[in-house]
Amino acid sequence: MITLAVVVILLVSLYLYNTRTFKYWEQRGIKHDKPLPLFGNNLKGFLFIKSVTQVAHEMYLKYPTEKVVGFFRSTQPELIIRDPEIAKRILMTDFDYFWQRGITPHKTVFEPLNQNLFFADGDIWKLLRQRMTPAFTSGKLKAMFPLIVERAERLKVRALAAADEGKSIDARDLMARFTTDFIGACGFGLDTDTLNDENSAFRKLGIKIFKFGAKDILKGIAKELFPEIFKNLKVWVRLEGDMNDLVGEILRQRNYKPIGRNDFIDLMLECKQKGTMVGESIEKRKPDGTPERVSLEFNDGLIGAQVFVFFAAGFETSSSATSFTLHELAFNQDVQKKAQNEIDRVLAKHNGQLSYDAIKEMTYLEWVFKEGLRMFPSLGFLLRRSTRPYTIPELGVTIDDNVKVLIPLQSLHNDPKYFPEPEEFRPERFDPEEFDSNNKYVYLPFGEGPRACIGARLGLMQSLAGLAAVLSSFTVEPAPETVRRPVVDPKSAIVQSIAAGLPLKFIARKK
């Protein structure tokens, strides 16, 4: 009897623990689905039936008249934002309340690779952003562009070999190889040739970053189901050795000094040469309310962390966006022809050569790419976490500190309220004379505000160069095995990916 009583007490205690927060949104008058013990509203996510983006999209559609929707990720309350004005407050107007990204537990165990602009929070993020922003000026991008052009030419050669054999090409794999080759050159100063080397170690590293084994998946689930117990589990420990070895070797080859190559390593070494980073704290205040002064050494460990996120963010986002754009062009031949005519006209003005200035003139191609990002944004959502209690003016609702807010980009980008006939691929939406300025905080593929993607312009230019290289030499068409509406991988986390690739026919153009 004593044993049975203990079991009952344990079960009741476990139930109470796992439902302790479930009145949170009800008490604030926020509509939400009834949560399940332990799983909250995220059972489909934990079982990998739907991705994070897909789960959020399901909730977005379920409450069409609400400005916000309550959600429980296990026991943790989250708020899904359906209203662009509230999104603007979170990202811009009231940023002081939402400077935490919210992807990793705040002040958790130190993980070196997390000390980068994307993952880091607080003073580390603020000082890094302050120091690194000058590294992404137009002049720096222009100096880096010849490295992009070299990789774009290799991209054409790779596609031509398959086109001559009449084979279909997985556009996702092709553009991932181009992106990895670009990152090798522009990020690390390496000639990796991942476009042609099937066994490239650099390509394998790119795949490894986003390939999570069963152990990694279980870690992630444990951290969400029992955040207080497993908050110190490390996520990127499996990659620390690889990244540190690679970056350390490159730094040694350069004698820890810029060599004038204008790649990302050079830019980071320039940041290091400027000495200790100093600035006003975003976390700490003096008794009089003014921010304290904080400092941080820009050491080799921080360089490694920035190079890691440059690799990770650039590899997956750009290849996903460009390959999906090619997929849509294959099914919209009139749009493709219009883009090709512009590319041909601009290249004729520039002696047939891709260049920074040539890409800047390809305005219709830019609209094409932006439309691809509208339909399938690489980041399906933006995430922030409140740093202190915050009242949403439009609702008069106050949320506590450490509550995450999710802005569902996939949902907003494809809402007919903002983009009529959203399933139609129509680049003219981004003609400045047609684009609705009210949609500025609806269309957010690179984020917005102080935490917007610092490499957005570099990613845009590299992606446009890849698309221009392909479309100047090829017409893409659906292959026999092409699926019109590709299936999203339900295991996708921050970055969305297609489950089974994007096979297309690449037909050499007759000039």
- Burial of 97 from C-beta contacts in 10 A (0-12 / 13-18 / 19+): buried
Please give the Cα distance from 254 to 1 (Å, whole number): 72
Provide the pairing of β-strand 404-407 with 76-81.
parallel
Q: What is the DSSP letter of 449?
A: G
Q: Which domains does the chain show, CATH number per domain?
A: 1-98+380-413 (3.30.43.20), 115-379+414-508 (1.10.630.10)
Closest by CA to 381, choosing from 17, 112, 153, 45, is: 45
Closest by CA to 294, choosing from 127, 133, 96, 100, is: 127
User: Which residues partner with 399 through β-bridges?
Assistant: 390
Integer Rg of the chain from CA: 24
Q: How many distinct helices (H) and strands (E) make up the chain?
A: 19, 11
Single pTM value for the model: 0.88
Structure tokens at 453: 């993607």
Closest by CA to 282, choosing from 420, 147, 100, 462, is: 100
Q: What is the dihedral of CA 36, 39, 41, 44, to 10 degrees?
A: -120
Please give the Cα distance from 111 to 28 (Å, whole number): 36
- Burial of 353 from C-beta contacts in 10 A (0-12 / 13-18 / 19+): exposed
| pLDDT confidence of residue 473 | 92
The amino acid sitting at 54 is Q
| pLDDT confidence of residue 109 | 47
Structure tokens at 342: 């512009």
| pLDDT confidence of residue 62 | 97
Within a 10 A sphere around the Cβ of 211, how many other Cβ atoms? 10
3: left (phi over 0), alpha (psi -120 to 50) or beta: alpha
Please give the Cα distance from 122 to 126 (Å, whole number): 6
Please give the Cα distance from 295 to 277 (Å, whole number): 5
| pLDDT confidence of residue 142 | 85
Provide the pairing of β-strand 68-73 with 76-81.
antiparallel
- 3-class secondary structure, 416: coil
Sign of CA dihedral 446, 449, 453, 458: positive
* 453 annotated among ligand-binding-site residues: yes
Low-confidence ranges of the chain (pLDDT < 70): 1-2, 104-110, 191-241, 511
| pLDDT confidence of residue 465 | 92
Closest by CA to 369, choosing from 411, 409, 335, is: 335
Structure tokens at 33: 């689905």
Please give the Cα distance from 505 to 475 (Å, whole number): 8
User: Which residues partner with 476 through β-bridges?
Assistant: 506
Within a 10 A sphere around the Cβ of 117, how many other Cβ atoms? 22
Q: What is the DSSP letter of 90?
A: I
